[in-house]
């Protein structure tokens, strides 16, 4: 019988071999795209089978390679938590690959050999990260994922902004990887093994015997995974990397790749750290980091006029919600299992939902860029008539990310905020953080209303002919928008799997979120009317109100006519009289000017002494190069072209070597 791990092995092999196959077809751009999509299809089918088999049976594990000298082995295991994130990677990768087939026409002067083969390797690396149970091989897959994603971010080699963003991404993420390497080595010194189970046992022992060392290791893990997830201030690479990457890759970056940072944080704080007393402090740290990210990231996004940069800042904001939920769950894990279940369920559910609506938003922004060649909202507008599918899917995803019921973003945010408020009854800090998260949802809605109004609404510019994107780019957007609706109306479809993932990763029975059936609504606590949420009832009420409004409008018998807008006796182009995106919410922007001056994340002033100490060019590289240059110049003077001189150097060299040998012998 084929096991789940065998399916994952087949998926990784298909992707690695497929990258070589796609490279062979790189001369034919469209064919290369379709071949790559077919390869991702085959890989996603294998991954899907692995996910289904994991939830149908017990967790599966297989050892492929053993390195006893290093205390390491290449062992693959799929449990419910990794299965959920594997499903996210498979779905987003499949839809992004389909979208990219035609989207890469936007880069007519760049070879697709730099995109599709590397994209397949990146997907294979993400898959490997999610199934490794040994930290040494985990880091190998992690580094492969980082390098391949770096090459995709810097796809436009002639674009200076792309290269700067790539360098920033490379430096920050590799610094984070070094933190993880240091943590793994510290654990290895005490346990002699890189296995996840050994890390758990070692940390448990160190928290008792050497708490300072144990918390240092946890802190290093936190820095490494939080940087990849995009938690501020470590996630400062996100707003630069997203706008310059191809939109298909932007969808994978935001929808799947940053989720692996969340996956790592879940492993560390819900599995590696098993001492309840140690969890409370780290729960507060996670919650504060998440609240800072959602607050600063969202308010900074409100100031942006570049569509992809705005969405990149919102990735930071939404990851903040996930980190906040993880913090509350971590804080309550040892003392209030029911509250921990609610928070962790909201955390994992929001990771799933974020993958859907944020990938849809990036694909929508890519579609606008594909047809108009522009990302500046001040120069766009009126695209709803010519791009109806892109408009509709972007509108659904925008309302989802803002947490408007009955879409999926509301269900997961509701669980996270409810967990904050319930926990806040015992520890008031979480009550404050929950209220901040609730306020930021309104700022998110304001931000995406600006996107919809500036890009799609208003009168179209008749001088610019725009049409809808090809069907292969529409299908991924429609699929993701449909998932936003489906998971919003029936959150119980995935919550039952989320519950199994929580029990598996924490290794303790948890109680909390009630989901008895897909039609019965959702309860915060089983058997309680507190916090009851029924998406079906809300949807029915909205449908009745919509029909009532339509009936009233039709009963009035008002006639509609289309006439030119009166501009005080003078004709103007739509672009002249359009209200620009940069002018929306000016009073709000002025009120929060100190938080995000110039529309960038505030960074504390770098100390001058530390800047000089880190200026390696001044005190290390430049003097070294000059010294080598002087030495080379002096050596070059000995090359005078006289054979006798060269023979003399040979004799001197032989004497020196003989002297060294005699000295070593004594």
Helices vs. strands in the chain: H and E counts, helices first = 26, 2
Contact 430, 420 (CB under 8 A): yes
Q: How many CB atoms lie within 10 A of CB 659?
A: 10
The pLDDT assigned to 614 comes to 61
From the list 248, 242, 24, the residue with the least C-alpha distance to 117 is 24
Q: Which residue has the higher pLDDT, 563 or 554?
A: 554
Q: Which DSSP helix (H) or strand (E) runs through 312?
A: helix 307-332
Output the average pLDDT for the chain. Answer: 84
Beta bridge partners of 76: 62, 132
Distance CA 129, CA 229 (A): 14
Range among 167-171, 313-317, 491-495 rated most confident: 313-317
DSSP type of residue 333: T
Mean pLDDT to the nearest integer, 545-552: 89
Mean pLDDT to the nearest integer, 482-486: 94
Beta bridge partners of 62: 76
Distance CA 606, CA 270 (A): 35
- pTM for the model stands at 0.85
Distance CA 363, CA 466 (A): 17
**What Cα–Cα distance (Å) separates residue 654 from each residue in 382, 634, 635, 657?**
82, 21, 18, 5
From the list 210, 254, 219, the residue with the least C-alpha distance to 93 is 254
Among 60-64, 121-125, 424-428, 638-642, name the one with the lowest average pLDDT: 638-642
Q: pLDDT tens digits for 348-392?
A: 999 999 999 999 999 999 999 998 888 888 888 888 888 999 999
Mean pLDDT to the nearest integer, 519-532: 58
pLDDT at 1 over 50: no
Q: pLDDT tens digits for 623-651?
A: 887 888 888 787 777 676 777 677 777 78
pLDDT at 226 over 80: yes
341, two tokens: 């279940």
Give me the residue label for tokens 């779905």: 91
Q: Where are the alpha helices (DSSP H) in 490-534?
A: 492-506
Q: In terms of C-beta density within 10 A (0-12 exposed, 13-18 middle, 19 or more buried), how is residue 116 classed?
A: buried
Is the sign of the CA dihedral 417, 420, 423, 427 positive or negative? negative
Is the sign of the CA dihedral 288, 294, 299, 304 positive or negative? positive
Domain residue ranges in the chain: 277-509+574-604, 612-665
Mean pLDDT to the nearest integer, 76-92: 93
Categorise residue 232: left if φ over 0, alpha if ψ from -120 to 50, beta otherwise.
beta
Q: Which residue has the higher pLDDT, 533 or 332?
A: 332
Contact 37, 142 (CB under 8 A): no
Q: Which residue has the higher pLDDT, 598 or 107?
A: 107
From the list 440, 374, 459, the residue with the least C-alpha distance to 401 is 440
Q: pLDDT tens digits for 394-437?
A: 999 999 999 888 899 998 998 999 889 888 888 889 999 999 99
pLDDT at 325 over 50: yes
Contact 368, 541 (CB under 8 A): no
The DSSP annotation for 356-381 comes to HHHHHHHHHHHHHHHHHS--BGGG--
Contact 194, 272 (CB under 8 A): no
Give me the half-sphere count of Cα atoms (radius 13 Å) on the Cβ side of residue 503.
14
pLDDT at 666 over 90: no
Mean pLDDT to the nearest integer, 91-103: 94
Q: Phi/psi at 636 (nearest 5 deg)? A: -65, -25
Q: How many CB atoms lie within 10 A of CB 654?
A: 10
Q: How confident is the model at residue 249 (pLDDT cuts 50, 70, 90)?
A: very high
Q: How confident is the model at residue 260 (pLDDT cuts 50, 70, 90)?
A: very high
From the list 486, 481, 488, 482, the residue with the least C-alpha distance to 535 is 488
175, two tokens: 């610094």
The pLDDT assigned to 374 comes to 86
End-to-end Cα spacing for the chain? 67
Give me the residue label for tokens 């559910």: 349
Contact 314, 301 (CB under 8 A): yes
From the list 129, 3, 127, 133, the residue with the least C-alpha distance to 57 is 3
Distance CA 289, CA 262 (A): 13
Mean pLDDT to the nearest integer, 26-52: 92
The pLDDT assigned to 210 comes to 87
**What Cα–Cα distance (Å) separates residue 404 from each residue in 315, 395, 396, 639?**
17, 11, 10, 79
Tell me, rounded to whole angstroms, the distance of Cα 98 from its chain centroid. Answer: 20
The pLDDT assigned to 121 comes to 94
Q: Which DSSP helix (H) or strand (E) runs through 78?
A: strand 72-78
**What Cα–Cα distance (Å) separates residue 7 from each residue in 10, 124, 259, 300?**
5, 13, 22, 43
Distance CA 93, CA 405 (A): 27
Q: pLDDT tens digits for 158-211?
A: 788 888 888 888 888 888 899 999 998 888 888 888 888 888 888 888 888 888
Q: Which residue has the higher pLDDT, 267 or 242?
A: 267
In sequence order, what are the residues at sequence separation of 6 or more whose Cβ sits closer than 8 angstroms to the Cβ of residue 119?
Answer: 36, 97, 100, 148, 152, 248, 249, 252
Contact 108, 529 (CB under 8 A): no
pLDDT at 493 over 70: yes
The pLDDT assigned to 375 comes to 86
Contact 131, 11 (CB under 8 A): no
Q: How many CB atoms lie within 10 A of CB 616?
A: 10
**What Cα–Cα distance (Å) separates residue 319 from each residue in 267, 302, 405?**
16, 16, 20
In sequence order, what are the residues at sequence separation of 6 or more whose Cβ sits closer than 8 angstroms to the Cβ of residue 517?
Answer: 492
Mean pLDDT to the nearest integer, 530-548: 82
The pLDDT assigned to 356 comes to 94
pLDDT at 529 over 70: no
- Tell me what percent of the chain is helix, strand and coil, each rounded to the nearest 5: 75, 5, 25
Q: Phi/psi at 614 (nearest 5 deg)? A: -90, 0
The pLDDT assigned to 29 comes to 87
């Amino acid at each position: 019988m084929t096991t789940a791990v065998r399916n994952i092995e087949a998926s990784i092999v298909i992707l690695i071999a497929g990258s070589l196959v796609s490279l062979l077809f790189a001369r034919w751009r469209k064919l290369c795209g379709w071949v790559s999509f077919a390869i991702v299809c085959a890989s996603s089918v294998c991954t899907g089978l692995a996910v289904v088999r994991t939830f149908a049976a017990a967790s599966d594990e297989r050892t492929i390679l053993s390195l006893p000298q290093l205390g390491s082995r290449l062992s693959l295991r799929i449990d419910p938590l990794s299965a959920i994130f594997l499903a996210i990677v498979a779905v987003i990768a499949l839809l992004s690959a389909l979208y990219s087939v035609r989207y890469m026409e936007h880069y007519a002067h760049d070879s697709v050999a730099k995109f599709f083969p590397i994209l397949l390797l990146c997907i294979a690396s993400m898959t490997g990260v999610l199934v490794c149970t040994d930290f040494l091989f985990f880091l190998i897959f992690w580094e492969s994922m980082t390098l391949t994603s770096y090459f995709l971010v810097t796809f436009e080699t002639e674009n200076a902004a792309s290269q700067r963003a790539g360098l920033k991404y490379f430096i920050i993420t590799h610094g984070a990887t070094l933190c993880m390497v240091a943590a793994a080595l510290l654990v290895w010194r005490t346990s002699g093994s890189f296995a996840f189970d050994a890390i758990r046992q070692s940390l448990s022992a160190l928290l008792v015997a050497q708490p300072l060392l144990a918390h240092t290791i946890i802190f290093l893990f936190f820095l490494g995974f939080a940087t990849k997830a995009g938690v501020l201030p470590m996630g400062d690479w996100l707003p630069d990397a997203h706008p310059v990457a191809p939109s298909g890759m932007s969808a994978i970056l935001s929808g799947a790749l940053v989720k692996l940072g969340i996956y790592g944080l879940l492993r560390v704080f819900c599995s590696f750290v098993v001492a309840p007393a140690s969890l409370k402090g780290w729960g507060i740290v996670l919650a504060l980091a998440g609240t800072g990210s959602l607050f600063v990231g969202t308010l900074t996004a409100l100031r942006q006029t570049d569509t992809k940069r705005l969405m990149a800042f919102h990735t930071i904001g939404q990851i903040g919600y996930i980190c906040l939920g993880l913090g509350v769950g971590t804080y309550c894990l040892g003392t209030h299992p029911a509250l921990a279940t609610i928070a962790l369920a909201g955390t994992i559910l929001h990771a799933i939902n974020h993958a859907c609506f944020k990938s849809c938003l990036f694909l929508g922004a890519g579609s606008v860029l594909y047809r108009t060649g522009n990302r500046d909202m001040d120069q766009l507008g009126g695209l709803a008539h010519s791009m109806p599918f892109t408009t509709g899917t972007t509108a659904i995803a925008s309302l989802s990310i803002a947490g408007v019921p009955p879409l999926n973003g509301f269900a997961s945010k509701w669980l996270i905020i409810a967990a904050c408020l319930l926990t806040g009854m015992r520890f008031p800090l979480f009550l404050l953080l929950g209220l901040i998260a609730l306020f930021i949802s309104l700022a998110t809605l304001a931000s995406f209303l600006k996107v919809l109004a500036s890009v799609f609404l208003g009168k179209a510019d008749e001088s610019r002919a725009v049409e809808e994107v090809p069907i292969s780019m529409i299908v991924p957007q429609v699929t993701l928008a449909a998932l936003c609706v489906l998971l919003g109306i029936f959150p119980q479809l995935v919550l039952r799997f989320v519950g199994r993932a929580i029990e598996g990763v924490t290794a303790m029975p948890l109680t909390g979120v009630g989901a008895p059936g897909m039609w019965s609504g959702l309860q915060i606590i089983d058997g309680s009317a507190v916090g009851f949420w029924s998406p079906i009832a809300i949807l029915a009420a909205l449908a009745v109100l919509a029909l009532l409004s339509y009936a009233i409008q039709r009963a009035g018998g008002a006639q509609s006519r289309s006439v030119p807008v009166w501009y005080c006796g003078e004709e103007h182009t739509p672009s002249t009289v359009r209200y620009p995106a940069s002018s929306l919410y000016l009073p709000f922007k002025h009120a929060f000017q100190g938080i995000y001056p110039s529309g960038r994340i505030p960074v504390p002033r770098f100390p001058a002494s530390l800047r000089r100490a880190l200026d390696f060019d001044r005190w290390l590289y430049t003097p070294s190069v000059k010294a080598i240059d002087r030495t080379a110049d002096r050596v070059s003077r000995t090359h005078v072209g006289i054979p006798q001189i060269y023979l003399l150097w040979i004799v001197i060299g032989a004497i020196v070597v003989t002297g060294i040998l005699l000295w070593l012998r004594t």
